[in-house]
Structure 1
């Protein structure tokens, strides 16, 4: 049975060697990172101006779960993309498809391909808070993107964010230093993910994603870091890391961005085939 998942508040974008619209100036480029948080779904990504995808023109191949891309500057404009299971025929039905997508210039966004609370694959964009932090402080952001009930985020074994549900987030500015973070079901202190040691450096935002499925025992963490927040409200994102998987390097012309928030954009749908 095929289920169609609609993402009414999200649109999609793709970092392409082929620009599908008139580029904005570099100062107006969006900065976008994508997090792959759908266990068991390795994908190929294609881009096109006319929804015709050629098997020998994949922009990204074998994009694996647990991967966080490096940030990429994306000119504002209109983009099409299709995401297919890795090695699949791009003339068939894509796992995720977006057409005629308007990408707003100047945005700083992280996008997660993940499971919703019911276990269906969805695309959720998060607009990153890049306001400056005070001297000697860092920002920590936690995002629930797992097929799991409400959770508490623990630091040093104590709950610091409570009752977080998919696909919501919470954040705080804290003194710099090392924090041992874990995820537990709401109201408990027995970790279901982690603990993982986080280094909260001055002037950074550390974003922690809980992804995977509690039912399938695939829960994991991914971590993204944004730097430059001690001096400018438009800090440039730094490199990223993911837990527990190793980072996968990408060629500069083959970094895919799966979704982007934009008011009034249309044409996004996500498809999942189930037995």
Structure 2
């Protein structure tokens, strides 16, 4: 079950910033800012971690904007160290802000095991290196106002630490953002390999998670479409994938496995399968 949230409105001095926190997944796609008005007050959503049998209900108070959320408490309404999510300008038609808050709560708690289980759209090692291993940097990024990009919403855009929530992740109950820690926005090889493995397993009828469907999490490229040969896919070994060559600067990777070559690309910020052909 995911952490639930309770919404509070707190008066702030004009120009003040609320403390932040976060959650970027898994891969996803689709299309694309909104302005926030200046005011002497800001809406703050307070994340509350349920304690015992208690816990608040999620009212989605920050979906339409209104500054950063504060950290969650122990279930009695008392704020606890946590991460706030700046929701200024978020359009609820494109993103479920509560999904980001849920992830941010786990980031604040350092719950590597919990996030590994929930973020199956990412390779397991990614959670430790790019989530809990960069929690402080993520908190700072989540305090900034998000912008709308081609592939989703981005916190900390154009900074050394970017938290990017793809459309598919933002529409889920628990977002697993992409977290870039060096400012180059080049996905690590582990994400490329995991995306290819998910695709093969899905096409073979054994997805890594029952929710991993083509409608919910598109993995096929929209523009770079080489053939995907069903017979080759069926015989391919998802566990034996290896990168044989790449052009990372241009978002291209070439993988091989049993009897198959898998071409991978980056489109609109997401890793996708360009084609699967005989090796």
TM-score range, shorter chain: under 0.3
Higher relative contact order (CA 8 A, sep 6+): 1
- Considering fraction of residues, name the structure with more helix: 2
* Larger Rg computed on CA atoms: 2
What's the TM-score once normalised by structure 2's chain length?
0.25
